[in-house]
Structure 1
């Protein structure tokens, strides 16, 4: 056989079908275009509902107004962190969470501050949480203990000591407290409805002090003390 007769035919290089490549490219562009239109331009995925949960002190309408979410805004253009910061600016709000629920709902979950005491100034009562932050104010007498300190504020140590004590009281004992005073951090005093006074001292050992105070308070009526001193739980005094 000749050399020409034994040579294998050369393999033909397959070139991609240009029309197929063009078709696939157009298909991808169409999909991206439709997706972009659905997210940004259509009326299908826009904010239609704003839900607010977790409110007791606030009304849902007030939270929604503070959130500033425009109905009809494309869901993808919503910035949850911005909304959260606006809602957290309300005095009553301790924290907030903003959730997108596709296709058209934004949910705002609020955790409110809990007032534990109130101080009076200029004829108004200012209710504060355990951190001393104002929660609400008004002229009506609140159903929380009155706070008596020199300069109530979130940075005042006696204020924080008094609020910590009230915040750590068992529910039954806390409901009986009419006033909490704290000239200093170490001299917190509780005055209960009915006239009983509990000298609490510092906020430390709160659970132990509460148990001791409640045990003494179970003394039969007419024989109980008017003052219970649990400032040093190792040596309880009454008078």
Structure 2
């Protein structure tokens, strides 16, 4: 067999058809789209469940809060909790606080719910009364209050332009007005008008610096200026004090002089310059 015949009789080789790569890409894309769609559906369902659960949770809380508020309102509005001003316990009136003024402020809250009663407003009203520096208010269930007043401590009596005396504390706040000066308080004589206010402050500063036992012995105290304070001791000499500065030293020097033999015959003791005190007779 020649070479031509051999080639003719040789079987033909099988040729595999070529595969288009774009088919695979389209298939994979469709599969990915289906997976993504299922994930989105599951996420959406999960979010919907969470929203329903959140709404139920807040709905329950809201219902509980509403019920609590309803109960609180019912309790607060109960007649058993209405404030009875006539049963209020009031203490600390002192000597110069007007009880009628206190009763009037307290009576303004008559019939209010003790739960809702404005305690700070009541305290503010009480502090506006002459002689009241502060107040403490405590609820006494079911229907009244315990009121403790902190009154201003009077330290001097100041003559008024028309008549009577103003009782003042150490801040020059008027505690009360009386016709006659109390024996236990020194009478302060200072210039009238705006200039007198500064002088009065200086005088009260001196009184505040005096030892308690010496303050009780002061009968009258006067000043023309803030640096010329002088006072008269009960059954004792006139003391020229000067200004409020060095008051502690002046008080010590005065105590020593009052215990000395020189003071028994002295009409005036001058401690305005405490390092050089002077005693003299008129």
TM-score between the two structures when normalised by the length of structure 1:
0.80
Q: Higher strand fraction: Structure 1 or Structure 2?
A: 1
Q: How many residues align?
A: 227
CA RMSD of aligned residues (A): 3.2
Shift of 1:114: 1.3
Match of 1:159 in 2: 200
Output one character per residue of 1:55-79: Cα deviation in whole Å (capped at 9) or x when no partner. 2122555413223443331023311
- From 158, 177, 192, the equivalent of 2:233 is 192
Shift of 1:117: 0.9
Larger CA Rg, structure 1 vs 2:
2
Shift of 1:118: 0.9
2:163 aligned with 1:123, yes or no? yes
1:225 and 1:115 mapped to 2: Cα distance? 31
2:155 aligned with 1:78, yes or no? no
Match of 1:205 in 2: 246
The 3 A distance-change label for structure 1 pair 215 and 32 is: same
Shift of 1:104: 2.6
Match of 1:173 in 2: 214
Match of 2:14 in 1: none
Match of 1:34 in 2: 71
Structure 1: any 5+ residue segments left out of the alignment?
1-12
Tell me: higher relative CO, structure 1 or 2? Use CA pairs within 8 A at least 6 residues apart.
Answer: 1
The 3 A distance-change label for structure 1 pair 221 and 199 is: closer
Match of 1:47 in 2: 83
Aligned 8 A contact 1:52 1:64 in 2? no
**More deviation, 100-109/225-234:** 100-109
Match of 2:275 in 1: 234
Shift of 1:108: 2.5
SS of the residue 1:75 aligns to: coil
SS of the residue 1:77 aligns to: coil
The 3 A distance-change label for structure 1 pair 75 and 223 is: closer
SS of the residue 1:135 aligns to: strand
**More deviation, 97-106/139-148:** 97-106
1:236 and 1:125 mapped to 2: Cα distance? 33
Output one character per residue of 1:24-48: Cα deviation in whole Å (capped at 9) or x when no partner. 9766644432222001x21233323
1:24 and 1:231 mapped to 2: Cα distance? 75
Structure 2: any 5+ residue segments left out of the alignment?
1-45
Q: Higher helix fraction: Structure 1 or Structure 2?
A: 2
SS of the residue 1:55 aligns to: coil
Match of 1:5 in 2: none
1:60 and 1:142 mapped to 2: Cα distance? 20
2:102 aligned with 1:56, yes or no? no
